[in-house]
Structure 1
Amino acid sequence: LEAHYLAGGNVNTVVDALIAAQRANIELGFERATAIDLAGRNVLEAVQVSVNPKVIETPNVAAVAKDGIEVMAKARVTVRANIERLVGGAGEETIIARVGEGIVTTVGSAETHKAVLENPDGISENVLNKGLDSGTAFEILSIDIADVDVGRNIGATLQTDQAEADKRIAQAKAEERRAMAVAKEQEMKAEVQFQRAKVVEAEAQVPLALADALKSGNMGAMDYYNMKNIMSDTNMRESISNINKENDNNNNSNKRD
């Protein structure tokens, strides 16, 4: 006791734990009790939990069945302290995490959420058979499902989000095609305007070419007047042809009336 006190241990707790273990017929030696105390565990509480198991309540665990429906489950885990594994064994947080993982796995393997609601004890059996107390300072006596509720329709939500994403992608592609079509149209209009400008530029060169031909003697004055007469005659014939076409159209229209 003196050595344990000098090592920083709690003598009163160790003595009380040894007395309680003896009265409860639990095998607990002095060396093990002091080792548990120096490890930071409450050895008296461990003895009391061995005699009177405690209940650990998990928070709401959300899991999704294969039909996409979310199930919210809460479990109560009855544990008893394992004196042999108090030193180096995991605590309550590990038990809660492992039970939550077991609930998620069991619900996730169910075909529908209705199967989980109809047989909640199936979750307890599957989780209990996994040996979740391995490596912990506790021995799991039972796992009871305290509450099961139906949550959101995760499958429908995911499908809706996917459909919305596909819609946005399709709209973006359509907008890209529209922009390319507009750009192509603008490019064609620019090309047409460019060609028209070249024609106008070429037509502007005709008088200069005629003047240069007259000046250099490659073309005489009579040739120029003959060309003008031919152009005038051509314009007159085109005008007469257009008038005849209009008269024919009017006559045909009158005949139909």
Structure 2
Amino acid sequence: MIASYALGGFILLAYTLEAITGFGSIVIALSLGALLLPIDQLLPVLVPLNICMTGYLVSRHWRLIDRRLLLGTILPGMVAGTLLGYLLLPWLDAALLKVGFGALILWFAGRELWRLQRGATAKVRPAWLTRLITLGAGISHGLFASGGPLLVYGLAGTELDKARLRATLVTVWFTLNSLLTLAFLADGRLLPALPQVAAYAPLLLLGVWLGERLHRRVSEQHFRIAIYCLLLVTGALLLWPR
């Protein structure tokens, strides 16, 4: 019971933050939730929830989507990588998966805090490197449904403003997580998770309501600092031997 309430709190926090920034709901909820439950049990709950939230945000902000970037660069690499990651998942050890996930979020959070502290601006990368990083983000998404950290890293240096970047990112997650949900339905993991999905769904309404208002009123940088500090702690906890 305590674990269920704690997971609900993690979900509310994570989906509020994604409503603000356009990414991070699953990576935050999964990194915190993995302290309580195995990753393979969390994914069939978190991914359908993400579809509900991102679908709503896409319907509200579709005019801001950068279609050229989405269709020309992001989706081809992300879809291919997601399929590859999903196919690799059954062959990986659960403990190794948890360590790999912890290392990923620890690297990303540490890098972003270092960059923010130095006030460094992201450099524009060559197109081939952006596509390679995008493919890696897709593989991460297929494994953990958490391609956001690598994709944001790959898109660093683009000229998208906060609103356009958020609209483009949530479109990516809506597309890919719809595919993952169909995969969970096919492999039998979705139906047993639906009662939990329904139980946690009302938290999305509160998360989106809060996130939409905070997106307009509060400095995104302050929220990003809080996110990265939280991820540093949870990444370290995931790597801590038990």
TM over 0.5: no
Taking structure 1 as the reference length, the TM-score comes to 0.17
Greater Rg, structure 1 or structure 2?
A: 1
Taking structure 2 as the reference length, the TM-score comes to 0.18
